[in-house]
Each structure stands twice: as structure tokens, then as C-alpha cells.
């Protein structure tokens, strides 16, 4: 990978900025499935940005496990257990792959995430996509959700003994919120409790 590959100046190697540069390169060159790279990028950004000037952080030499633990401590109320687990796992796998790539290891790609090569030498996507984590599955059951849209799960006490989870984009707009509200309202059954009280 070089400056010519990306069309942009290459950041200092070993930094979080260069890690992101590496992910862009891996996605652009087809070294990894785009969905995998996007998941790593989204998760790693969330985990690393708890640091000031996080793009300058040396992700090769720092204590990754300690940083993941700090992220969980600081953000434990912001995400559900499944989302937290997914962010930590993807960040760890992504950064460890980057470290191996910097060390020129031929095994930097996680098993099962690489592209298959056909008989004529062209690259193909894996025969089956790796299973999504439970947080993603919840967010995508209602339809297609772009990989670049990070969903956050909000627990909502609907009634005594009933708590529901709302999976919404972190950048939800006011217009989208109104659409969601109208949709939920359309699902409701008529509440006849007031009529029953009057009849009595």
C-alpha cells in the first residue's frame, strides 16, 4: 500500500489514522469483504474516539485489552450488552489484523473473511457471508439497513412487566423520528378501557 494506491498522503504507520487508512485500502482493493471492513471501521471509531486526538494513538504498541476495558467502563450505559460485545470484538479483530499486516504476516486476514479465487484468477466474494451478531440481526429484521448506519438499542418500558428495544440510527433525524412514531401508532389496537368504565 502506498500513497499512489489511495490518492492521499499516507498517515504515520502504527497510528489509528493509518489503521483507518489501511481499512480503506483493504476495502478499495478487495482484500476484504466491504461489509467486514465497514463493521471494523465503525466499531473501531467508536472504541478509539474515547481518547483525545484519537487518530494519533499508537494502536500497535498500546494495551488493546486495557483500552477495550476502559471503553466498556465509559460507555456501558450507552449501548446494550450485545452492541458492546460486537464493538469490542470487531475492534480487537481489526486492530490485530492490522498489526499482523504491518509485520508482513501472510496470515493477517482472519479465517473465513478473505475472498475466494476462481479458476481464472479473479476474486470472488465468499460463498456465504459470516453470520451477523445479534445486535445487527435485530436492526435488520424490518428491512435493509446500510452497513454504514450504526444502530443503537434503546430499552423502553412499555407497560409494567413489558420492556421493548428500539434499534435506531445514532444520527436519527426529527423527520425520521416522526415517521417512526406514526408507524408505531398505526400498529396499536384501540384502547377500549375508557368506554368500559363509562358503561359501568
DSSP 96: H
pTM: 0.57
Tell me the domain boundaries of the chain: 3-127, 145-200
Closest alpha carbon to 87 in 112, 131, 78: 78
pLDDT at 186: 74
Phi, psi of 166 (to 5 degrees): -105, 120
Which residues is 167 bridged to in the sheet? 153
Closest alpha carbon to 36 in 116, 112, 138: 112
**pLDDT tens per residue across span 26-54:** 999 999 899 999 999 999 999 999 999 99
Amino acid at each position: 500500500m502506498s500513497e499512489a494506491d489511495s490518492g492521499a498522503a499516507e498517515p504515520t504507520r502504527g497510528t489509528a489514522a493509518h489503521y483507518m487508512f489501511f481499512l480503506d485500502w483493504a476495502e478499495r482493493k478487495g482484500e476484504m469483504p466491504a461489509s467486514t471492513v465497514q463493521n471494523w471501521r465503525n466499531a473501531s471509531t467508536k472504541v478509539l474516539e474515547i481518547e483525545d486526538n484519537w487518530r494519533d494513538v499508537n494502536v500497535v504498541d498500546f494495551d488493546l485489552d486495557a483500552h477495550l476495558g476502559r471503553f466498556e467502563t465509559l460507555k456501558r450505559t450507552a449501548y446494550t450488552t450485545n452492541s458492546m460485545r460486537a464493538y469490542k470484538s470487531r475492534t480487537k479483530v481489526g486492530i490485530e489484523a492490522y498489526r499482523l499486516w504491518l509485520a508482513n504476516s501472510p496470515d493477517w486476514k482472519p479465517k473465513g473473511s478473505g475472498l475466494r479465487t476462481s479458476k481464472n484468477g479473479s476474486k470472488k466474494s465468499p460463498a456465504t457471508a459470516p453470520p451477523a451478531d445479534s445486535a445487527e440481526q435485530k436492526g435488520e429484521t424490518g428491512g435493509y439497513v446500510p452497513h454504514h448506519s450504526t444502530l443503537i438499542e434503546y430499552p423502553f418500558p412499555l407497560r409494567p412487566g413489558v420492556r421493548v428495544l428500539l434499534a435506531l440510527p445514532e444520527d436519527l433525524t426529527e423527520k425520521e423520528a416522526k415517521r417512526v412514531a406514526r408507524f408505531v401508532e398505526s400498529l396499536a389496537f384501540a384502547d377500549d378501557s375508557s368506554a368500559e368504565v363509562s358503561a359501568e
